Amino acid sequence: MRLNRRVFLKLAGGGWAAAATGCIAANEQGASGAGRPNIVLCMADDQGWGDMAYNGHPALKTPNFDAMAREALRFDRFYAAAPVCTPTRGSVMTGRHPNRFGCFKWGHSLRPQEITIAETLRDAGYVTGHFGKWHLGSVCKGSPVNPGASGFDEWFSAPNFFDNDPIMSREGTAVQTQGESSMVTVDAALEFIRRHGGGDKPFLAVVWFGSPHNPHQAAAEDRAAYAGQPEAVRDFYGEITGMDRAFGKLRRELAALGMRENTVLWYCSDNGGLPQLGVTGGRGYKGQVYEGGLRVPAIIEWPGHVHSGVTDVPCNTSDIYPTLAEIAGIRKAPTHPLDGVSLVPLFQGSKQHRPPMGFWDHPTPGVQTPSKQWMASLLAAQQAGKDVDDPSRLRLDAGEITRVYPDHEFPGHAAWLDWPWKLHRIEKAGRVQWELYNLEQDAQEAGDLAAVENRRVAAMQAELHAWLKSVVKSLNGEDYR
C-alpha cells in the first residue's frame, strides 16, 4: 500500500489541519474498499508514562506490553490531549482539542455536532465497535451521545471506569458479566473481531479499559504477582498486570486469526499517572498540565507499514483521528478545524517535526458519573420492564450551546509545546503567570527560563493566544454554522 505525502494548512486560529481534497488520504486502494487495514485502538485509564516495565518500572510486570514495545514503534513523547480522562477520549474521537466542544473535564459529553472517527470510518465502509469505558455521554438507549449515536455499529460499554464483574451496556441493554474487568472488555472485543474479521468490510474496534483507575481491585492471580510489595500498591500493580494479560490475549488472537499483518494496533493511556502510586516521567500527576499529567505510554504496531523502534517525536492523542483517516484512504477534507496531524510519515521512518500543540485545562469542574451505581440501577429498571431508569442520564441537551465564552479570557492552565520548548500560561483570579521550560534538558520542568528567554516567550505567547482564540471560537459553536 502506498501512502502519498499530505500537506498541512495552518489555520487562522493557530491549529493545524489537513489541506483540501486528497490531503488526509492517499491509500490508492481505499476508494474501492480493498486492502484497507483493520484498526484496534486500546486505551488505559490512569496509567502513567512510567507505569510500564519497559519504561523502567522496578516492580511492575507487563510482559505483553514489553513484547510489543520491542517489536513495534514505541512513542517516548506521546501526550494525552488533556490531563484527565474524558477530554482525552474526546480528542481521540474527533482529532480536536476537547475544549473546542466543551468537554472540559471528566463526565462531560461529546456534542452530537462533532464528527467522530467512528462515523468517518463507518461512512468509508468500516464496521465499528466500542468496548469498555465510554465516559463521553450516555450508554442508554435513545441518547444523542451514546456510542451508537457517535458512530459505533455495536457497543458493549460502561458510562465510566468499571471493576471486576461489571454490569455493561450492550447497545443500551444492561448485562451482568463475570470476570476480571480488562478480560471482560477484551473478550467482548474479540467476539466482535471474530465475527467481522473475515468479512467484506474492515473493522474498527475501540477497546477502552477501566484499569488502573481507583478503587483498585485486582484479580487474585494478578495481585499474587506482587506478594512482596507493600499492601497499598498490590491491587494497583495487579490491575496493570491484568490489563497486560488481557492485551496479550488480544494481540495473540489477532495473530492466530491471521489478522496481525493487516491490523493497526494502537495502545496508549488517557492521562498521566496517579499521585503516590504512578510513575509519570515528569513533573506532576494526573490533573496537571505539567509533563506528569500529560505524558503517557504509547505503542503502535502494523507489520510492514510501521517501522519498529523508539521515536522521541512529540505526538498527541488528537493525532489518532487524522492518522487513521489517511491510513483508511479517506479523501474528504475535515469540516471542523483539527488539532491533530497525520503521523504516517513518521511511521515510514521520516524524522517528522510535529507542529506545536496546545493544552488547556479549563477550570470548569467535572461531572460525577458513578458507573457501578448507575449500571445497577439500569439493570434493575430493565428487569422491571423499563428501557431507562433516569431520563436525565440520556444527555438529551448535549448539543445545546447556551453560553457564549469571551474570546479574550482563558482561565485555567494552558500550555504551548513547540519542541523542546513548553510555555505555560496560568490564569487565576484574572492574573496571568508565565513559565517556560526546555523539556529536552529539563523533563521535570524545574528551571523556569521565562525571564531569560524574552524573545522566545513573546513569540510563543502570540501563537498560544491565537490558538486559544480559535478554541473559544469552536467552543461557541462557530464550527457548526
Average pLDDT for residues 255-281, to the nearest whole number?
96
Whether omega before 83 lies within 30 degrees of 0, making that bond cis, reads no
Cis peptide before 212 (omega within 30 of 0): yes
Task: Give the pLDDT of residue 381.
Answer: 97
Please indicate whether residue 334 or residue 453 has the higher confidence score (pLDDT).
453
Q: In this predicted model, what pLDDT tens digit does every residue of 59-89 receive, in sequence order?
A: 999 999 999 999 999 999 999 999 999 999 9
458, 452 contact by CB (below 8 A): no
Banded model confidence at residue 35, pLDDT cuts 50, 70, 90: confident
Q: Helix 231-256 to helix 181-196 angle, to the nearest 10 degrees?
A: 10
Which stretch of 7-16, 294-303, 311-320 has the lowest confidence by average pLDDT? 7-16
Residue 85 and residue 135 in contact, taking contact as beta carbons nearer than 8 Å: yes
C-alpha dihedral, 460 to 463 to 467 to 470, nearest 10°: 150
Average pLDDT over residues 316-334: 94
Domain 8-357 has CATH 3.40.720.10: yes
Residue 10: predicted pLDDT:
33
**Cα angle at 323 between 188 and 445, to 5 degrees?**
95
For residue 41, the one-letter residue type is L
Rounded distance between C-alpha atoms, residue 326 and residue 343, angstroms: 9
Place of cell 507489520: 303
β partners of residue 263 = 38
* Burial (Cβ within 10 Å: 0-12, 13-18, ≥19) of residue 331: middle
Q: Are 277 and 233 in contact (CB under 8 A)?
A: yes
Is the peptide bond between 411 and the residue preceding it cis, with omega within 30 degrees of 0? no
CA 162 – CA 217 distance, rounded (Å): 10
Q: Is 208 helix (H, G, I), strand (E, B) or coil?
A: strand
Residue of 429, 441, 432 whose CA lies nearest to 414: 432
C-alpha distance from residue 47 to each of 43, 270, 271, 467 (Å): 9, 7, 7, 28
Q: Give the containing element (helix H, strand E) for 470.
A: helix 454-475
Q: Residue 22's pLDDT is what?
A: 30
- What would the mean pLDDT of 166-190 be, rounded to a whole number? 98
Under 8 Å between Cβ of 59 and 282: no
Mean of pLDDT values over 149-153: 98
**Looking at domain 412-480, does it have CATH number 3.30.1120.10?**
yes
* Segment (H or E) for 71: helix 63-71
Q: In this structure, are residues 474 and 100 in contact, taking their beta carbons and an 8 Å threshold?
A: yes
Give the pLDDT confidence score for residue 245 in this predicted structure: 98
Q: Which residues make up the CATH 3.40.720.10 domain(s) of the chain?
A: 8-357
CA distances from 273 to 57, 64, 246 (A): 13, 20, 20
- Ranges 9-23, 90-104, 323-337, 349-363: which has the least confidence: 9-23
Mean pLDDT value across the chain: 92
Q: Which pLDDT score, from 0 to 100, does residue 21 have?
A: 28
Smallest CA-to-CA distance from 32 within 120, 122, 117, 125 is with 125
Evaluated on CA atoms 421, 314, 341, 117, the torsion sign reads negative
Q: How far apart are CA 425 and CA 411, in angstroms?
A: 9
Of how many residues is the chain composed?
A: 481
Q: List the grid coordinates of 77.
A: 513523547
Looking up cell 484496534 gives: 40
Q: How far is CA 349 from CA 7, 73, 148, 343, 372, in A?
A: 17, 10, 36, 10, 44
pLDDT at 15: 35
Nearest in space to 474 (alpha carbons), one of 143, 94, 105? 94
Percent pLDDT > 70 in the chain is 93
Q: 79-132 pLDDT, tens per residue?
A: 999 999 999 999 999 999 999 999 999 999 999 999 999 999 999 999 999 999
Q: Does 21 or 216 have the greater pLDDT score?
A: 216
Please give the C-alpha separations between residue 246 and each of 141, 181, 242, in angstroms, as whole numbers. 28, 9, 6
**What pLDDT was estimated at residue 71?**
97
Name the amino acid, one letter, at 279.
Answer: V
**8 Å CB contact between 141 and 396:** no
| Nine-digit cell string for 79 | 501526550
The amino acid that residue 50 corresponds to is G
Distance CA 154, CA 205 (A): 9
Question: What are the backbone angles phi and psi of residue 188, rounded to the nearest 5°?
Answer: -65, -40
pLDDT at 232: 86
The pLDDT value given to residue 4: 29
* pTM greater than 0.85: yes
- What is the residue type of 51? D
What per-residue confidence (pLDDT) applies to 417?
98
| pLDDT band at residue 13 under the 50/70/90 scheme | very low
